[in-house]
A and B are shown apart, each in its own frame.
Chain A
Amino acid sequence: MATASLAGTAATEVLRPTSEAEAVEAFGDGDGVLVVGGGTIVVPDLTYRRLRPAKALLLKDAGLSGIENEGGRVTIGAATPLAALVDLPAPIGPCAANIGDREIRGVATVGGNLCAGEGYEAPRGDLQGPFLAVGATVRSAGAGGIEEEPLESFLERRRSRLALSISFQTPAAGAFAALDRPHTHDYTALAVSGARGADGTIRLAATGVGWWGVRLPSAEAAADDPEAAGRAALEDVDPQDDALASAWYRRKVLPVLVRTVLTELEGVA
């Protein structure tokens, strides 16, 4: 009995924590540790030996799964499967429902999606957009211990951190718009998320216009006029050509998606 994947991972030390504390200790400063949430991104990399980690940290039994809602403040464990997010309010629920298919959503995790590295042919991490739009904060472990910070700063250093949970205040209104995917196994080429807070503040974010999700501050500043906001969004991004779409196409479509999201937000009381 011998398989390519078995041969490829034989030298990897596998860590299977059964609590958050064990997971944090096993992760340490993250050096040489591959975090396996649901496995949908990293298992093919292990199978094809693109990854040969010294250690693999399996989170399935670490008690990091679940969604809590305390007075509108929602906290989602990093190992929660995407399927559990589908019924959350926009923009999070509709975005989660637009990732993969039933079988992928059943095992792929929130933490894995947020921490997804740049794809080989296209950007990944669809949930970065809606979580940026709702102003989420991430609680994570690594060098310096457990810290909580805005998602924007977490994304910058996500590869050296173990995401534990993500929290946000449920927005007064939310909206999500994305380019259709040709097939469920495709990543989304471009998506825009929007949220209106209780104080009326509009936050907008996009995925697919860079290697991870970005806020659209120029569009936010022009949010009262969806047409103008759509044009302004182009000042906030530097789209790339990749396997899914050209930069030219993304620049054509981004204003449309921004306008769609803002128009939908206007229509939600």
Chain B
Amino acid sequence: MNIVVNGTAHAIESGPLTPLLDVLREELEITGPKAGCHQGGCGACTVLVDGEPRRSCLLPVAYADGAEITTVEGLGTPESLAPIQQAFVHHYAAQCGFCTSGMLLAAQAYLDGGGTDDPEAIQEALGGHVCRCTGYAKIVDAVAAAARGESFDLTQTAVGKYTTVTTGGAT
């Protein structure tokens, strides 16, 4: 079996019933997809399979044979974040970060499908994803901002956050 992950082709040694999540994390050491519940209930392992959001913990790797997989590692780079990642940073849509890669990929699929900034539509698209920090409002805000095509100066976002702390008397 062969899969392409973030543009790189891999021959897979794992058995055909192995969940794609385990192939990514254990065989290929691509750890962006998180193993939250390993039974499809949390969305932390969501990746794009030929552009469609899929729970990688539920997908036998045989079902991804020949597919192109996108994980959060392929979404953007630290130097050049994807627009949806910029929106997450700007809106403080990540807290502990465990759900973030799955949220980002589900959101990216939503945006790729022409998703709008309608909060109900965003909630429907991300409805299978659990945020254990319960930071849903900011996540929906971030996806809505990205859907509107807003751009952000993250240098200013970071400075503003830092300045608030330092001018508040912190030592």
Contact = CB atoms under 8 A, between A and B. Distances in A.
Interface string A1-14: 11111100110101
17 contacts: A1-B14, A2-B26, A3-B26, A5-B22, A6-B18, A10-B15, A14-B62, A16-B62, A38-B58, A39-B58, A40-B58, A47-B57, A60-B63, A104-B128, A106-B54, A183-B127, A185-B128
A183 B131 CA distance: 12
Interface of A: 1-6, 9-10, 12, 14, 16, 36, 38-40, 43-44, 46-48, 56, 58, 60, 100-104, 106-107, 183-185
B62 A43 contact: no
Interface in B85-119: 106
State the main secondary structure of chain B at its contact with A: loop
Contacts of B130: 183, 185
Contacts of B38: 44, 47-48
Contacts of A5: 17-19, 22
Interface of B: 13-19, 22, 26-27, 38-43, 46, 52-55, 57-60, 62-63, 106, 124-125, 127-128, 130
Q: Nearest 9 A-B pairs (CB), nearest first? A: A101-B128, A44-B39, A185-B41, A9-B17, A3-B22, A184-B127, A3-B26, A14-B16, A184-B128
Given A5-B19, A40-B55, A47-B19, 14 more contacts: A1-B26, A5-B22, A9-B15, A14-B17, A40-B40, A43-B19, A47-B39, A48-B38, A56-B17, A58-B63, A101-B127, A103-B54, A104-B128, A183-B127
Nearest to B124: A102
